[in-house]
C-alpha cells in the first residue's frame, strides 16, 4: 500500500523529476504585472527542491519538498492566457509539469495523479487557504496596517487549489468536503476577480462530483456566498450565475418552498433591474436560469411582476439573441405556472403581437415568429376567455393577416 503522505516520494526522485522543470522555468520570459513588484516566477521557483540538501538545522518537515513540487506543477498546469497571474507560462513548461505529476505519483506508489492529490491534499490545501485568507480585506481585523501578501500570491494559490480539486472526482471528492469547501469559500470571499473565479470553477466541479448529503453541512454558507457574489463585476457574471444555479438547484431541488430560491432569484432580479440594458448580463442569465424556474414551478408566481417587467423590455431590444432567449423563458414559465391569476395575459398578448410586427426586419424573423406563435397557442389553451378578450382587438389588423392565418391553423391542429 502506498504511503498517504508526500514523504512517500524519495528526495532523489524529486530532484530527477524537477530538473527539467527548473530549466524550462529559467528559460521562460517573464515580466511582473504592471504596478506590482511581486514576481510569480520567483514564487514558483521557490517551490522547486534545492539540488543541494539544506543543513540539518534548516531542514523542512518531511514531505514538504514533495508537497511544494506538486504545488509548482498545479500552478503551471492551471495556467491559461486569460489569467493575468499565470498567462506567461509557456507550453513547454506545462508539458513538463504534466509529465512530472505522473512521475511523482508513480514514485510515491500511487495508482494515479488523483490518488496522489487525495493523499496530499490535507497537507497542502490548508496552506493555500491561508495564503488567500491573508490577502483578503478584513474589516474586522485588529491588525491595523498589517502587511498583506501580494494579490498575485493569492491568485496563484487559487489556481493551484482549483487544479488540485479538478483532479479528484466522485466518489473520492466527497471524503474531502471538510477540507476543500472551506478553502473554496475563502476564495469566493476574496476581493480579486481572478481569485473569485477559481473558487467558482472549483464549486462547479465539487457540485458535480459529491453527493448532496455531503454538502448538507455547508449548504447555507455556500448559498450565502453565492448571493454575496451576485453583484460581482461583469467579467464574473456568467460564472456567478452558473455556480449559483447549479448549487441552488442541487442542494434545494426537492424543496421549492426553500427560502433560498426566493432570496437567490430576488438578488438576481434586483441586479438585472439596475442594469436592464446590459446585454452580457441578461444573455448569461437567460441562458442559465432555466433549472431554477423548473425547480420553483408555481412559486414563480410571486416573482411575476419583476420577471415580466424585464421580459417586456427585453423582447423589444435590437439584440436577436436576447429576444429569442426571452421568448424561450416566457414559454417555459407559462408551461410551469399556467400563469394562474395573472394580470399579465392581456399585456403579454399585446407585446407579442407588437414583436411579431417588429420582427419583419429581423434576420431571425422566422424563428422569432415560430416562438411567438407557440406562446400564443399556449396562452389560448391555458387562459381561454381571457385570451380571447385580448385577441379580439387584433383580429382585424391588416398587418397580422399571416399571423392570424397561421395561428388559426395551429389552433385547429391542436
Of 95-104, 338-347, 371-380, the range with the lowest mean pLDDT is 338-347
Residue 8 lies in a domain: yes
pLDDT band at 6 (very low <50, low <70, confident <90, very high): low
pLDDT of 234 reads: 85
Residue 396 lies in a domain: yes
Q: What angle do CA 196, 250, 340 make, to 5 degrees?
A: 115
Average pLDDT over residues 140-159: 75
Average pLDDT over residues 176-186: 97
Higher pLDDT: 403 or 268? It is 268
Higher pLDDT: 146 or 131? It is 131
Task: Report whether pLDDT(340) > 80.
Answer: no
Task: Report whether pLDDT(334) > 60.
Answer: yes
Average pLDDT over residues 56-78: 81
163: preceding bond cis by omega (within 30 degrees): no
Average pLDDT over residues 59-84: 86
Task: Report whether pLDDT(49) > 50.
Answer: yes
pLDDT of 4 reads: 44
Cell triple for 353: 403581437
SS3 for the chain, per residue?
A: CCCCCHHHCCHHHHHHHHHHHHHHHHHCCCCCCCCCCCCHHHHHHCCCCCCCCCCHHHCCCCCHHHHHHHHHHHHHHCCCCCCHHHCCCCHHHHHHHHHHHHHHHHHHCCCCHHHHHHHHHHHHHHHHHHHHHHCCCCCCCCCCCCCCCCHHHHHHHHHHHHHHHHCCCCCHHHHHHHHHHHHHHHHHHCCCHHHHHHHHHHHHHHHHHCCHHHHCCCHHHHHHHHHHHCCCCHHHHHHHHHHHHHHHHHHHCCCCCCHHHHHHHHHHHHHHHHCCCCHHHHHHHHHHCHHHHHHHHHHHHHHHHHHHHHHHHHCCCCCHHHHHHHHHHHHHHHHHHCCCCCCCHHHHHHHHHHHHHHHHHCCCHHHHHHHHHHHHHHHHHHHCHHHHHHHHCCCCCHHHHHHHHHHHHHHHHC
Residue 263 lies in a domain: no
| Residue range(s) defining the domain that contains residue 174 | 1-29+40-47+64-134+151-187
Cβ-Cβ contacts under 8 Å for 6 (sequence gap 6 or more): 63, 64, 66, 67, 70, 108, 119, 120, 123
pLDDT band at 232 (very low <50, low <70, confident <90, very high): confident
Of 81-90, 179-188, 267-276, the range with the lowest mean pLDDT is 81-90
Cell triple for 66: 514533495
pLDDT of 61 reads: 56
Residue with cell 534548516: 58
pLDDT of 412 reads: 63
CA distances from 201 to 34, 54, 120, 127, 163 (A): 26, 38, 21, 20, 10
Average pLDDT over residues 154-181: 97
Average pLDDT over residues 344-348: 87
Q: Which of residues 187, 210, 232 is at a domain's end?
A: 187
Residue 337 lies in a domain: no
pLDDT of 62 reads: 53
Task: Report whether pLDDT(10) > 70.
Answer: yes
Residue 232 lies in a domain: no
pTM of the model: 0.89
Of 1-15, 213-227, 265-279, the range with the lowest mean pLDDT is 1-15
pLDDT of 402 reads: 78
pLDDT of 58 reads: 47
Of 23-32, 155-164, 178-187, the range with the lowest mean pLDDT is 23-32
Residue 283 lies in a domain: no
Average pLDDT over residues 275-280: 92
Average pLDDT over residues 306-319: 95
What is the number of domains present in the chain?
2
* Average pLDDT for the chain: 89
Task: Report whether pLDDT(317) > 80.
Answer: yes
Task: Report whether pLDDT(188) > 90.
Answer: yes
Task: Report whether pLDDT(59) > 70.
Answer: no
Average pLDDT over residues 105-126: 95
Between CA 272 and CA 254 the distance in angstroms is 27
Residue 307 lies in a domain: no
Residue 210 lies in a domain: no
C-alpha closest to that of 375 among 393, 353, 397, 359: 353
Task: Report whether pLDDT(142) > 50.
Answer: no
Cβ-Cβ contacts under 8 Å for 329 (sequence gap 6 or more): 286, 289, 290, 293, 311
Of 6-10, 193-197, 228-232, the range with the lowest mean pLDDT is 6-10
Cell triple for 408: 388559426
pLDDT of 22 reads: 95
pLDDT of 147 reads: 64
Between CA 8 and CA 109 the distance in angstroms is 8
Q: How many CB atoms lie within 10 A of CB 314?
A: 23
Amino acid at each position: 500500500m502506498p504511503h498517504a503522505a508526500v514523504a512517500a516520494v524519495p528526495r532523489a526522485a524529486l530532484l530527477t523529476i524537477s530538473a527539467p522543470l527548473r530549466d524550462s522555468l529559467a528559460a521562460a520570459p517573464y515580466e511582473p504585472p504592471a504596478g506590482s513588484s511581486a514576481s510569480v516566477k520567483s514564487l514558483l521557483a521557490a517551490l522547486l527542491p534545492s539540488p543541494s540538501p539544506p543543513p540539518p538545522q534548516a531542514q523542512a518537515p518531511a514531505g514538504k519538498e514533495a508537497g511544494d513540487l506538486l504545488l509548482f506543477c498545479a500552478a503551471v498546469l492551471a495556467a491559461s492566457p486569460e489569467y493575468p497571474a499565470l498567462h506567461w507560462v509557456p507550453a513547454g513548461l506545462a508539458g513538463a509539469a504534466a509529465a512530472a505529476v505522473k512521475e511523482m505519483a508513480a514514485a510515491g506508489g500511487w495508482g494515479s495523479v488523483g490518488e496522489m492529490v487525495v493523499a496530499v491534499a490535507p497537507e497542502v490545501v490548508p496552506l493555500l487557504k491561508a495564503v488567500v485568507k491573508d490577502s483578503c480585506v478584513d474589516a474586522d481585523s485588529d491588525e491595523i496596517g498589517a502587511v498583506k501578501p501580494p494579490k498575485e500570491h493569492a491568485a496563484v494559490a487559487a489556481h493551484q487549489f482549483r487544479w488540485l480539486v479538478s483532479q479528484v472526482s466522485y466518489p473520492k471528492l466527497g471524503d474531502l468536503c471538510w477540507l476543500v469547501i472551506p478553502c473554496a469559500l475563502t476564495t469566493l470571499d476574496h476581493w480579486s476577480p481572478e481569485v473569485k473565479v477559481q473558487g467558482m470553477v472549483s464549486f462547479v466541479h465539487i457540485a458535480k462530483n459529491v453527493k448532496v448529503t455531503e454538502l448538507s453541512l455547508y449548504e447555507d454558507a455556500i448559498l450565502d456566498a453565492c448571493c454575496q457574489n451576485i453583484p460581482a463585476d461583469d467579467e464574473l457574471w456568467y460564472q456567478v450565475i452558473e455556480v449559483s444555479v447549479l448549487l441552488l438547484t442541487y442542494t434545494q431541488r426537492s424543496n421549492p418552498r426553500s427560502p433560498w430560491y426566493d432570496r437567490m432569484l430576488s438578488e438576481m432580479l434586483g441586479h438585472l433591474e439596475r442594469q436592464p440594458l446590459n446585454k452580457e448580463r441578461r444573455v448569461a442569465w437567460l441562458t442559465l436560469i432555466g433549472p431554477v424556474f423548473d425547480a420553483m414551478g408555481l412559486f414563480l408566481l410571486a416573482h411575476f411582476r419583476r420577471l415580466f417587467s424585464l421580459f417586456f423590455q427585453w423582447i423589444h431590444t435590437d439584440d436577436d439573441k436576447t429576444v429569442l432567449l426571452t421568448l424561450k423563458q416566457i414559454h417555459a414559465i407559462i408551461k410551469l405556472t399556467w400563469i394562474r391569476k395573472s394580470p399579465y395575459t392581456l399585456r403579454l398578448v399585446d407585446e407579442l403581437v407588437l414583436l411579431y410586427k417588429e420582427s419583419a426586419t429581423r434576420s431571425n424573423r422566422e424563428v422569432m415568429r415560430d416562438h411567438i406563435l407557440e406562446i400564443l397557442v399556449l396562452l389560448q389553451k391555458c387562459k381561454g376567455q381571457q385570451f380571447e378578450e385580448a385577441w379580439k382587438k387584433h383580429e382585424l389588423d391588416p398587418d397580422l393577416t399571416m399571423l392570424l392565418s397561421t395561428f388559426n391553423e395551429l389552433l385547429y391542429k391542436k
